[in-house]
Amino acid sequence: MVCVIGASTASAMSHGAGPRVYWTASGLFGPFNIQGLIPTYPDARDILIPINMWIIDHPKGLVVYDTGNNVAISDGACTSHWIAGLCDFLQPSQARGDVIDKQLEKVGFTVDDVKIVITSHSHLDHIGNIEMFPDAIHVIQKKELYQAWWPEKFQRGGAHVVADYDDARDFTYFELNGDYDLFGDGSVVVISTPGHTLGHQSVKVRMAETGTVILAQDAVWVKENLEGHPAGLNYSILDYTNSVNRIKMIRDIENAQVWMGHSMEQYEVMGEKWYQ
Ligand SMILES: [Zn+2]
């Protein structure tokens, strides 16, 4: 009943011509030393990070951008779904209510309402629940599918969890090779931002009141990455640096905001809210 009320409320407050965006998270990781993520950062301190996900409600369809950690993590099965060392290091706080299906319900939708799932990349905190969306169109870079199924040896170590997507092989994939204007109106544009992984992608959203935002995901984890300290986990540091610079250029040219993948400072202020 609550969901039914939520659904009608959601449609009643629906947007005009453009998209609106809800910012949520699949729980937190940490605390751990920031230098474990960013080796060149000079000041040791413990941080918590949110596992950001965004729900984009466009007049032509509902979009989810990243699906967080697998539901097993909040069902007490971390050490069997992930390698045990990652459960110890990342310390996921995800509760069942933090998982994308429940987050959709909180704002009046169900997984069946989702037309498109955009996946930034195939790491466990971003692709974790794509199997909840068997009927959606899955937008991902073609290269990232290769990355998911056969990561480079130096990128193995637990970040790619094949059990997150092994039952999703026959889903409908819109395989991209670069940028793509999702609805053909310039309001939701997938932008290629490789480096963190082989085929990482971000999303640029143009809203009537909030303006233009770049949902960077792991192209930019935290503000320290914008200040010249590259992330410590990269497929290619050259591609990563080019992607950070690309995002900065778009930010400066379009007067856009950068909504980062794992910034607690941003999430505490801006999370669990609608933007339009
Ligand atoms: Zn991540």
Kindly report, residue by residue over 194-214, the tens digit of the pLDDT.
Answer: 999 999 999 999 999 999 999
Token pair listed for 33 = 């030393």
Q: How far is the CA of 201 from the centre of ligand 1 (A)?
A: 12
Check pLDDT > 70 for residue 3: no
Span from the CA of 195 to the centroid of ligand 1 (angstroms):
13
What H or E segment, with its residue span, contains residue 241? helix 237-254
> How many angstroms is it from 42 CA to the middle of ligand 1?
22
- Work out how many domains the chain is built from and give that number: 1
Of 7-16, 97-106, 221-230, 263-272, least confident by mean pLDDT is 7-16
The pLDDT tens digits of the residues spanning 17-66 come to 799 999 999 999 999 999 999 999 999 999 999 999 999 999 999 999 99
Cα(17) to centroid(ligand 1), Å:
31
Distance 50 CA to ligand 1 centre (A): 9
Residues 230/239/260/245 CA torsion (nearest 10 deg)? 90
> 160-205 pLDDT, tens per residue?
999 999 999 999 999 999 999 999 999 999 999 999 999 999 999 9
Per-residue burial over 234-263, b = 16 or more CB atoms within 10 Å of its CB, e = otherwise: bbeeebbeebbebbeebbeeeebbbbbbbb
CATH number at residue 23: 3.60.15.10
Does 261 have pLDDT greater than 50?
A: yes
Q: What is the pLDDT of residue 254?
A: 98
How many Å lie between the centroid of ligand 1 and the Cα of residue 163? 17
Q: Which residues constitute the domain of residue 92?
A: 2-275
User: Within a 10 A sphere around the Cβ of 31, how many other Cβ atoms?
Assistant: 13
Q: Which residues are within 8 A (CB) of 261 and not within 5 positions of it... i.e. 6 or more apart?
A: 52, 120, 216, 217, 218, 219, 220, 221
- The model's confidence at residue 155, banded by pLDDT at 50, 70 and 90, is confident
